[in-house]
Chain A
Amino acid sequence: MNRSAWGGVGFTLPALLWILLFFIGPVLLMVAASLHPLTAAGVPSPQWGLGAYRAFFSQPAYVQALIDSVVTTIVVTVLSTVISYPFAWSIACVVPARWQRLALIMAILPFWTSYVVRSYAWLLAISPVGLVNKALLALHLIHRPLMLAYNPHATELGFVHFFLMLNTLTIYASLKQINPRYELAARDLGASSWRAFFGITLPLSMPGVATGAFLTIVLTIGDYVTPQILGGFRQLLLPQLIMMQIQRQLDLASASAMSLILTAIVALAYLGLQRWLRLSRL
């Protein structure tokens, strides 16, 4: 290595050390903690063992929470992508160029409401005495308030609202990077506008779709606030179980094991979407 290379390493070193010391190190400690399951006395066992993982997979309620978490994440990811794509496309291709920036800013403005407050605001909107029910009653569309809050669909609603904004942003950015001449060329060669869209525009916008989808998966599967406020208690998701391990059982070994299982699912999603992902170009 020449002198210049060492200089470059010097500049990147503080950031690398920070990640190593405060992210990779702690995660390795978590792995170690998860391999020392609690004994009957409630202290970490001195022996290494897979007890925490075995306990997780032998509890039907825990496995159900894992399945529910994965299903919720898939539903939320698919819905937010499908709803946001036409929205982003409309902003990029229908709205006149000079208004696009404003249209996009408006589309992601509520993104900046406080994270905890956003779920609370949805709770207010869809509660039996909330604005949505009051409006539907006033319009005589319903006769009794609908029970919209405190169920798994309310959780999905809260998530889809948030990720609709995020995906609109990533898909819009991807659509704007496509050279419009490609589609014109396809049209000149006789493709219908549908064929040009599905043959040219859609494949070229996949990086935006995949980036948005991946962020949706990461942030949905690890979220505790939205299901806790909107979801009610009939269905618990994995992060809620993890919190219960920490707060009620004081069982860091199980909580670590569950967090690592959750991370393994995120890693699978990453591998699946990898060929399109452009995380550094957000």
Chain B
Amino acid sequence: MKTLTLFASLYMALCYLFIFLPVVVLVLFSFQAGNLPVPPLKGLSLRWYLAVFHDARLMGGFGHSLVVGVVSSALSVLLGFLAAYGLARYDMPGKRFIRGIIMLPMAVSYLLVGMGLLVSASALGAAPGLPTVIIGHVVMNMPLAFAICLAQLGEHQRRIEYAARDLGAGTLRVLLTITAPMIAPTLIAAFCMCFTLSWDEFLIAFLNTRFDVTLPVVIWGLLRGGLTPETNAAGALIFLISIGLMLAVEILLLRKRRA
């Protein structure tokens, strides 16, 4: 057993090394005082972070990504929650079929959704732009919000909903004043999860925007200009924001489990 533990620890150390290698390279050379994000490290500086904040393209992309992320995640959670509530609280024929249709986008690649929207927009003569990206992100993230909500709508809340109904509350009132507040941490967690996926999504955004591009598409453009520590700084900042959101998810869902 001792040797097994030793082997396991060694193996885990190697895996962690592999997993963290690109992150270390990314963050370390975002502090590069020189002009290239490769060794040697010519001293530490924050100049590339300043450059990011003064880069109009990056900041514009950040603004677009923020809008796309917030709107698409709010829609994903709203639609996903309603659908999960309907499936968890009502008996109806074809439940499996309805669930299958809603979960369907989880089984296809972003490329198919992005291509579908591109072909449709061009068939309808619609101009490419952020609304199309938002629509695509809801298609990809709503199944996730739906699955998260469905997993949290248990028997415990159902009894409290019955009590509210016995006291005369209507369907909508129960939903808004009883169910939604009770699973609020889940809804916020689902929102954060959808947001981190949406604001970092590349393919759908790349295919369906032309001028109002999102942050990943701006960074894609930066890469064509060659290697610069500015890309590292932008990447490190995105990482920081995503990690912050995921920590929020972790804390929200963990607190819920303990409660």
Query: Is A115 in contact with B216, judged by CB distance below 8 angstroms?
Result: yes
Query: Is A29 in contact with B119, judged by CB distance below 8 angstroms?
Result: yes
Within A15-33, which residues are at the interface with B (CB < 8 Å)?
15-16, 18-20, 22-27, 29-30, 33
Q: Which listed segment binds B: A56-64, A180-188, A220-228?
A: A220-228
Q: How far is the CA of A90 from the CA of B207 in the complex (A)?
A: 41
Binding site for A on B (CB under 8 A): 4-5, 8-9, 11-12, 15-16, 18-23, 25-26, 29, 37-39, 79-80, 82-83, 85-87, 89-93, 98-99, 101-113, 115-120, 122-123, 135-136, 138-139, 142, 144, 146-147, 150-151, 171, 196, 200-203, 206-207, 215-216, 219-220, 223, 227, 231-232, 234-235, 238-239, 242-243, 246, 250
Q: How far is the CA of A281 from the CA of B99 in the complex (A)?
A: 13
With A4-B90, A8-B91, A224-B111 known to touch, is A27 a contact of B116 (CB < 8 Å)?
yes
Chain A residues with Cβ under 8 A from B136's Cβ? 22
Query: Is A114 in contact with B38, judged by CB distance below 8 angstroms?
Result: no
Q: Is the interface of A mostly helix, strand, loop or mixed?
A: helix
Which residue of chain A has the shortest Cβ distance to B199 in the bound complex? A114
Is A200 in contact with chain B by the CB < 8 A criterion?
no
Q: How far is the CA of A161 from the CA of B21 in the complex (A)?
A: 10
Q: How far is the CA of A118 from the CA of B92 in the complex (A)?
A: 45
Q: Which listed segment binds B: A45-53, A103-111, A170-178, A202-210?
A: A103-111
Q: Which of B12, B22, B206 has the most chain A CB atoms inside 10 A of its CB?
A: B22
Query: Is B93 in contact with A1, judged by CB distance below 8 angstroms?
Result: yes
Query: Is A18 in contact with B139, judged by CB distance below 8 angstroms?
Result: yes
Query: Is B19 in contact with A161, judged by CB distance below 8 angstroms?
Result: yes
With A86-B11, A110-B20, A121-B26 known to touch, is A131 a contact of B39 (CB < 8 Å)?
yes
Taking a contact as CB atoms closer than 8 A, the residue among A12, A87, A222 that contacts B111 in the complex is A222
User: Would you mind naming 17 contact pairs between A and B with Cβ atoms under 8 Å apart?
Assistant: A8-B86, A19-B139, A24-B101, A25-B120, A89-B8, A94-B9, A105-B250, A109-B23, A116-B216, A116-B223, A124-B22, A218-B107, A218-B108, A222-B108, A222-B110, A222-B112, A222-B203
Q: How far is the CA of A95 from the CA of B201 in the complex (A)?
A: 34
Query: Is A110 in contact with B38, judged by CB distance below 8 angstroms?
Result: no
With A22-B139, A91-B12, A116-B216 known to touch, is A129 a contact of B111 (CB < 8 Å)?
no
Query: Is B108 in contact with A18, judged by CB distance below 8 angstroms?
Result: no
Is A66 in contact with chain B by the CB < 8 A criterion?
no
Q: How far is the CA of A116 from the CA of B90 in the complex (A)?
A: 42
With A26-B119, A110-B19, A114-B216 known to touch, is A259 a contact of B111 (CB < 8 Å)?
yes
- Expressed in whole angstroms, the minimum distance between the Cβ of A251 and any Cβ of chain B is 12
Which residue of chain A has the shortest Cβ distance to B78 in the bound complex? A14
Query: Is B216 in contact with A16, judged by CB distance below 8 angstroms?
Result: no
- Expressed in whole angstroms, the minimum distance between the Cβ of A207 and any Cβ of chain B is 15
Over the window 209-253 of chain A, the binary record of Cβ atoms lying under 8 Å from chain B Cβ atoms (1 yes, 0 no) is 000001000110111110001000000000100100010000010
Q: How far is the CA of A9 from the CA of B246 in the complex (A)?
A: 33
Taking a contact as CB atoms closer than 8 A, the residue among B11, B39, B93, B203 that contacts A90 in the complex is B11
Chain A residues with Cβ under 8 A from B104's Cβ? 19, 23-24
- Expressed in whole angstroms, the minimum distance between the Cβ of A70 and any Cβ of chain B is 14
Query: Is B223 in contact with A229, judged by CB distance below 8 angstroms?
Result: yes
Which residue of chain A has the shortest Cβ distance to B4 in the bound complex? A94
Q: How far is the CA of A114 from the CA of B220 in the complex (A)?
A: 11
Taking a contact as CB atoms closer than 8 A, the residue among B87, B108, B200 that contacts A12 in the complex is B87
Query: Is A114 in contact with B92, judged by CB distance below 8 angstroms?
Result: no
Which residue of chain A has the shortest Cβ distance to B234 in the bound complex? A117
Query: Is A125 in contact with B21, judged by CB distance below 8 angstroms?
Result: yes
Q: How far is the CA of A165 from the CA of B147 in the complex (A)?
A: 21
